[in-house]
Amino acid sequence: MAGVVAVVLLAEAVFIAALNWFLGVVVDRQDMSLAGLDPDVMSTSSKIGGVLFGLYFALCALVAALVAVRDRAPAGLGRVLLISAAVVHGLLGAFAWGLVGWTAFLFMVVVLGLIVLLLMTYDRAAGPQSEAPGGVPGQGGGPATRTEPGAAPAGAGAGAPAGRTDEPQDGDEEPQDSVPAQITVPAPTTP
C-alpha cells in the first residue's frame, strides 16, 4: 500500500513540475504582462515554483517508499512531510473543485485518502503481546500466550502455585482490577 502511495506521489511530482514548466514557457512566448508584471519574472517564477513543488512531492514519495521497504511507520521529518502532503492535497482538492472541476477534485481526494490511510495503517506500535515471555524483543520470540485466570503458567509443574484470581484473598483490603494495566512500548523514532 505504501508502494502505491510512493508511485502516485512520484507521478504527481513529475506532472506538477512539467505543468508549471510548460506554463512558464507559454508565459515567456506570449510576452504579455499581467497587471504590469514582467513576463520574464512570471516565467522564471513559474518554472522555479514547479521544480520546487515537484521536488517536495518527490521527497514525500521517497518517504512513502521507505515506509514500504522498511514496513515501519514514518517518524520525525518523514511523518511531518506526509501530513503536510495530506493537508496540501486537501487544499488543492478544495481549489480544484471550483477552478478545474470534479475530476481533479476526485483525484486530489483519492490521493489524500491514500496518504491518510498510509499514516493510519502503519501507526501501530508493537506492544507487550508481541514479545515472548522472558525473551528479548526481535530475537525469535513468538507472540506471548495468554493464560486463563487461575491457571498455572505454561511450563509449570504440578507443584507450581496457581495464578491469582479475581476474588479477594487474605490481606487484601480492596478488590483488585479484573484486567491488568497494559504497558505500551514506545515506537522507534527513526524516519
Distance CA 142, CA 61 (A): 33
Q: Count Cα neighbours of 51 within 13 Å in the Cβ-side half-sphere.
A: 6
Single-letter residue type at 69: V
pLDDT digits (tens, 9 = 90+) for 98-155: 888 888 899 999 999 999 988 888 755 543 344 444 555 545 444 444 445 555 555 5
Cell numbers linked to 96: 480544484
Q: Is the pLDDT of residue 171 over 60?
A: no
- Strand, coil or helix: what is 36? coil
| 15 secondary structure, DSSP code | H
CB atoms within 10 A of CB 104: 15
